[in-house]
Structure 1
Amino acid sequence: MITKLKIHNLKCFDSVEMSLNNFTLLTGMNSAGKSTIIQAILLAVQNVTENGRFPLNGRLVSLGQFSDVRNFIRNAKEFEVEVSSKNNNSVKFKFIENGQEVKCEITNDSEVLIDYLHQKNHRISYFSSKRIGSQDLYLKNYDSYLNFGILGEFAIDYFEKNKSTQIEDYLIKEKPVGKTLELQVNYWLKYILNCEISTEDISGTDQVRVKYKYSNNRYVRPRNIGSGLSYIISLLISVMSSKKDDLIIIENPEIHLHPSAQSKLTEFLTFCSENGIKLIVETHSDHIFNGVRKSIFNKVISKNNLSVYFCKLTDDLLTEPVEIFFNQKGDVENHQRGLFDQFDEDLDEMLGL
């Protein structure tokens, strides 16, 4: 649904327009603007949901005061975020400091896009890099806006309630495995980490119990399992529960994962994107980046359904998101210095080159 993002005078951005594809990957140096791109989208969702009552601070994103987020290099007196759909309908958000308050003016020419952005319709999910770690028990969810929680804290409850639900056919890679959420999540979990999940509603409480097992062994408590598992389970559950054009924003999917698991997780994400789920992924991992390249090579995803941006700072400390292009084999056509080339640089130094 959202195919374009415009940012004007927000933090380190001057005026930028970006295409948001089925799979959009954000890379770049620290403090180069990747998170600001995500925050711009979350500001749009937050202000539609709250009707502009809390312009900069809310449940999805909390940015502080106007002076914290305006582009001070340009001495900006206001900043704007605009999101557009594939038919060029758009919703624009203008943020202005009004005395001691910040005002958000929303200009809308698409009720459909407004409905898409509103959290009550559950079309957009966001997973922070601060996702919840290993726990034996997870809280049940009574939040009407968040199916999975920003930290993934409600994903286990969602899974328990919906594990017998049939997922969309276009998200099923191996149909003989079965069509339920439980079977498909376990299919991918076993492929990525050779593991399976089991959940149980603890009757009479506000909690759900979870157990995992490796390699067809016995089930064990999550606290006796590697941390990476707890960090990706919410991603698997949310993506497999989605429908075409739903948007899932993920910060650092690679957290606590071995390179092999990172590559396989990327295969999962690109497979689902190729089949209609929109993903925006921020990463510092060359294994995620190369996993995308491998997905192009193996025809898991078409390069036409992919947008990769390398965020770098100009000499005047403004963000320039450079779009990275690939050929049909997944080779980078316009390499940028700093784009996951540290391995080569370190090796050259060790070899005295």
Structure 2
Amino acid sequence: MINNLQINGFKCFDEIAIDLGKITLFSGTNSSGKSSAIQALLVMDNAIKNPTSPLNGAWLDLGKFDETRNFITRPNQFSIKINQEAKTNTFTCLENETKPDFNFNFDLNYLSANRIGPQNTYQKNFDTKTLIGEKGEFLMDLLYKYRNLKIDGERQINQANGNLEYQVNSWLKKLFNVKLELEDLGITNLLSAKYSQNNNKQIRPYHIGTGISYVVGILILGLYLPKGSILVVENPEIHLHPKAQSELANFFCFIANADVQVIIESHSDHIFNGIRKSVFNKTISNNDAKIHFFEMKDDVSVNHLINLSEKGKILDYQEGLFDQFDNDLNVLLGF
């Protein structure tokens, strides 16, 4: 597990340190540094997998050094450092040179806000260099290939059957009361997906709630990944009803407590409160949940660690931290 991320001179950051837990939430206003913090992690991952072009790859399109260094301080280099217990990985980038110093490997898996949505058919994956594709387009194939994979007991929400397909459907039932079935279309190298409710007629993804297609990939990957892996998800709340958002936050805490590190960027108060509720219900410890609120001050990004009590109470409130509902309600009530 990565315990700490340090960024110097990269994009909107001058100098910042971010503590990471089993589950970490990046929150804050638009253009306050949340995505840049995730990109810093992606740079570290890409520098290992693609050392000749660490700023650009499957999940990155950062351009050149001058576009990537802090635009206010304009340093002659930027650095990113991640810590894992006593081990440290450092990546330093200058205009015409990079200086990697890596002492451990880590398995990072990223689902962007632009991940694939409803499709009539899904591609099979024949590329051994990628597990899920740039936009998660191979996640259905991952489920189909490994549908009978026995997942560890800590990630089994239903003990009746421990295979991956059954566990994914158990979560789909909990969130949406639907069941997913995949069919191999043979020589087309495609898979079809069908959903059903209460064992009724099967329907294509375009004829059921859009949010289901965006969430199913998260469920597949979160349950499939080996222990010790890192799952990064941007805007998991896309197209989801508030109740489903809260349940999805519980899923994240559930797998995080089973040794899959989860890092989320979200604007959803339901994701935030869902994590707090999971702390209250002891799905995860308050010490293992790290909430960060980002904001801009003097043209650079700063972050505030929001600590939670054992009951999920906010101990370090910051103005702007998921408070718009209360602000709007105060106006409506005449306060």
User: Which TM-score tier does this pair reach, normalised by the shorter chain?
Assistant: over 0.9
The gaps in structure 1 that reach 5 residues or longer are 117-122
1:53-97 superposed Cα distances (whole Å, 9 cap, x missing partner): 1131111211122222211211211100111212x2111111110
Matched AA of 1:76: P
Q: Secondary structure at the match of 1:147?
A: coil
- Offset at 1:242? 1.6
Match of 1:145 among 126, 129, 150: 129
Query: What is residue 96 of structure 1 aligned with on the other side?
Result: 94
- Offset at 1:124? 1.7
Query: What is residue 252 of structure 1 aligned with on the other side?
Result: 235
Q: Which structure 1 residue ranges, 4+ long, deviate > 4 Å from structure 2? A: none
- Offset at 1:305? 1.2
- Offset at 1:318? 1.1
- Offset at 1:3? 1.7
Match of 1:167 among 151, 176, 190: 151
- What CA RMSD, in Å, does the superposition of the two structures yield over aligned residues? 1.1
Using the alignment, how far apart are the partners of 2:101 and 2:206 within structure 1? 48
Asked whether the equivalents of residues 125 and 146 of structure 1 are also in contact (C-alpha less than 8 Å), the reply is no
Using the alignment, how far apart are the partners of 1:244 and 1:164 within structure 2? 18
Using the alignment, how far apart are the partners of 1:317 and 1:270 within structure 2? 34
Matched AA of 1:18: I
- Offset at 1:143? 2.1
- Offset at 1:146? 2.1
Using the alignment, how far apart are the partners of 2:286 and 2:130 within structure 1? 31
Asked whether the equivalents of residues 7 and 80 of structure 1 are also in contact (C-alpha less than 8 Å), the reply is yes
Query: What is residue 326 of structure 2 aligned with on the other side?
Result: 344
Q: Which residues of 2 match residues 205-284 of structure 1 at below 5 A?
A: 205-284=188-267
Using the alignment, how far apart are the partners of 1:148 and 1:275 within structure 2? 21
Query: What is residue 331 of structure 1 aligned with on the other side?
Result: 313
Matched AA of 1:211: K
Q: Secondary structure at the match of 1:41?
A: helix
- Offset at 1:150? 3.2
Q: Which residues of 2 match residues 176-195 of structure 1 at below 5 A?
A: 176=160, 178-195=161-178
1:129-165 superposed Cα distances (whole Å, 9 cap, x missing partner): 0111111100111222321223221000111111111
Query: What is residue 115 of structure 2 aligned with on the other side?
Result: 131
Using the alignment, how far apart are the partners of 2:78 and 2:91 within structure 1? 8
Number of residue equivalences:
335
Matched AA of 2:73: R
Of stretches 142-151 and 305-314 in structure 1, the one that deviates more from structure 2 is: 142-151
Using the alignment, how far apart are the partners of 1:288 and 1:197 within structure 2? 24
Percent of pairs with identical residues = 39
Using the alignment, how far apart are the partners of 1:303 and 1:144 within structure 2? 38
The gaps in structure 2 that reach 5 residues or longer are none
Using the alignment, how far apart are the partners of 1:76 and 1:55 within structure 2? 19
Using the alignment, how far apart are the partners of 1:155 and 1:171 within structure 2? 18
Query: What is residue 82 of structure 1 aligned with on the other side?
Result: 81
Query: What is residue 29 of structure 2 aligned with on the other side?
Result: 29
Matched AA of 1:96: L
Query: What is residue 13 of structure 2 aligned with on the other side?
Result: 13
Match of 2:101 among 107, 110, 120: 107
Relative to the length of structure 2, the TM-score reads 0.97
Using the alignment, how far apart are the partners of 1:130 and 1:280 within structure 2? 17
Query: What is residue 119 of structure 1 aligned with on the other side?
Result: none
